[in-house]
Structure 1
Amino acid sequence: MGKSSKDKRDIYYRKAKEQGWRARSAFKLLQLNEEFDLFKGVTRVVDLCAAPGSWSQALSKEIFGKPHSDDARIVAVDLQPMSPIDHVTTLQADITHPKTLEKILEIFGGEKADFVCSDGAPDVTGLHDLDEYIQAQLILSALQLATCVLKVGGTFVAKVFRGRDIDLLYGQLSYLFDKVICAKPRASRSSSLESFIVCIGYRPRPGWKPELRPDVSTEEFFQGMGIGRAKLNDDLSVDDEERKIAPFIACGDLNGSYDSDATYPIDKKDASSDSKKSLDPVQMPTAPPYKKALEMKRKGELRVTK
């Protein structure tokens, strides 16, 4: 979380700093849990694309300290390094690699996960069709690992970019879960394409055994599921692709009706000279952009040529 003038006015950004969250996105997961009770009975969790770790923070706070939490395990996975979080095992690894799956199952003692989530997203280009496609591929990559590690009846939650072809992704997920819902937490800006897909009740397809392999694409991975795809028959008739629509709901309150797109002044009672100072980040970046270039510039090893 940086210190731009826009971010200073963002109420969820300010609340995240005040409450010790690494990023404002923690409120999105908490609001989803408030609506769907995602953490009930959950003891084994995989947080994919986890850096900087705000979702893992929320999971640790909500799961540990409750009955039967002594055996709980939370694994956070990301290609980027992450600073330690209480009760969370962090893995700097590729979510598409079989060794990552093996390590997660080893941490869980061979048991399957109750809950898998992903708040990952690519750097957006502004070209909505392209951004939606890349995000869908990231979700399918996360889903690959989820189908291998998630227990029957488990839950999968992931960030999505809603666009004109989102119903195809809904349809694919509907073959694997009893209930698929698209939710927009209040902490997510309404001006953003971002929403979250909540998939409840994992049920593997009959006769289909997911196997994570580095040489297999997402398309090839899901081929054996028996999903109805559009195809042209010999008589030139067309079997339409099976698509489903997930219900869309808005959610999130957490005892404060804040609008993430609105600008809120600092409370008068907190308007002392000390409170006007910008709060330091909860956790400094472990791998900030251009780190190597900045270090070289300080040492005089980087020169700009015209």
Structure 2
Amino acid sequence: MGRTSKDKRDIFYRLAKEQGWRARSAFKLLQAEETFHLLGGLTRAVDLCAAPGSWSQVLAKHMYEPLPLEEREKVKIIAVDLQGMAPIEGVTQLRADISKESTAEAIIDFFGGEKAQIVVSDGAPDSTGMHDFDAYVQGELLLSALSISTFILEEGGSFVSKIYRADRTSRLYTHLKRFFKDVCVFKPSASRNSSIEAFVVARQFCLPEGYKPCNLITEWHEHPDSWVCRKKENPPVVHVPFVAYKGDLDSDRTYDLGEDYVYKEPVQQPLTAAYQDILKKTSQVNIKYEGIRVMHDEELFKEWYKAGVCLSSCDNNGYKNTTN
């Protein structure tokens, strides 16, 4: 696919470069903010699985940049990821694993002992093409983001995370309802209709009475009485609230480019993409095989056949022969 053809096909990809966003995903959080008004007046935010940093850019744009210089130091935004990313003014980076309690402690230390007012996560696993497996892994990633949020999110805080609309959506929704009074699934127009991607928007965080923050993925090992989904003959039907963003731009539509259009490179390329280690390793390994040359010479074949030669496989010259 050519450069301009991708710009024609995806309006948000083109606008992200024109407006200075590091990825088109910035519009998904922008549309969530426009719909739910999540960032107004906040001073402490956490961006999980942040690289390459488009959501951190949105946080800084709404929380940090509008303030006068003397008040900007009150705003604390931390971006957490195992991968590195280029610096963003007003955003502190932490390269750490979101499934570890030490990461939660480091975030609270960054806030000076306070907790975050909002936690966002646009993390997603590498797609395998096996939809059931991809949806399962995405659900586990969401639970990891929710787990650390129970440590670092203050009472009344908000949580936004990517989710795949699949058979586990209702179970994940039930998990979220344990900790948030208001939960819905949001579909921004920047997310293609053909994609099962959506986002959970959870507000009014409140820990259940007597609940101790823990890893929700392995919670049932130590607390079997806290299982959310117990097997029943007639399990209750869970209706998940769904909100769609109404916008003029359609991510599935192809838009014409004007005569004065000039192609622009992406704002920020990955610094430490996961595939770089694989490229480094495979560059030192020869995984190519020499081709096998097959000769088709009827006269030669007839001579060998008369001589009683059985053709079994090919050698470097085209044939490897065994005599009867």
TM range (shorter): 0.7 to 0.9
Q: 2:54: which partner in 1?
A: 54
Deviation at 1:194, TM superposition (A): 0.3
Q: 2:256 aligns with which of 253, 257, 265?
A: 265
Q: After alignment, is 60-69 or 244-253 more displaced?
A: 60-69
Deviation at 1:166, TM superposition (A): 1.1
Q: Equivalent residue of 1:134, what SS?
A: helix
Q: Distance in 2 between matches of 1:29 and 1:222?
A: 35
- In the TM superposition, 1:92-107 aligns within 5 A as 92-107=95-110
CA contact (8 A) 1:50 1:120 kept: yes
**Alpha-carbon spacing, 1:291–1:262, altered in 2? closer, same or farther (3 Å):** same
What are the Cα deviations for residues 107-159 of structure 1, in whole angstroms up to 9, with x where unaligned? 10010100001100111222222111111000000101001000011000000
Q: Distance in 2 between matches of 1:50 and 1:225?
A: 34
- For structure 2, the residue ranges without an aligned partner over 5 or more in a row are 290-324
CA contact (8 A) 1:12 1:260 kept: yes
Corresponding position: 1:79 with 2:88: no
Q: 1:234: which partner in 2?
A: none
The one-letter amino acid paired with 1:116 is V
Q: Equivalent residue of 1:121, what SS?
A: coil
Corresponding position: 1:160 with 2:169: no
Deviation at 1:239, TM superposition (A): 7.3
Q: Equivalent residue of 1:175, what SS?
A: helix
In our comparison, the structure showing a higher alpha carbon Rg is 2
Q: Distance in 1 between matches of 2:240 and 2:76?
A: 31
Identity of aligned residues (%): 46
CA contact (8 A) 1:159 1:196 kept: yes
Q: After alignment, is 176-185 or 218-227 more displaced?
A: 218-227
- For structure 1, the residue ranges without an aligned partner over 5 or more in a row are 232-237
- In the TM superposition, 1:1-306 aligns within 5 A as 3=3, 5-6=5-6, 9-66=9-66, 69-211=72-214, 217-220=217-220, 223=223, 226=226, 228-231=228-231, 238=232, 244-253=238-247, 257-267=248-258, 271-272=259-260, 275-276=261-262, 278-288=263-273, 290-291=275-276, 301=284, 303-306=286-289
**Alpha-carbon spacing, 1:224–1:115, altered in 2? closer, same or farther (3 Å):** farther
CA contact (8 A) 1:171 1:245 kept: no
CA contact (8 A) 1:228 1:242 kept: no
CA contact (8 A) 1:32 1:252 kept: no
**Alpha-carbon spacing, 1:209–1:242, altered in 2? closer, same or farther (3 Å):** farther
CA contact (8 A) 1:26 1:58 kept: yes
Q: Distance in 1 between matches of 2:264 and 2:222?
A: 46
Q: Equivalent residue of 2:142, what SS?
A: helix
Deviation at 1:242, TM superposition (A): 5.9
Deviation at 1:97, TM superposition (A): 1.2
CA contact (8 A) 1:43 1:69 kept: no
Q: Equivalent residue of 1:148, what SS?
A: helix
RMSD over aligned Cα atoms = 2.6
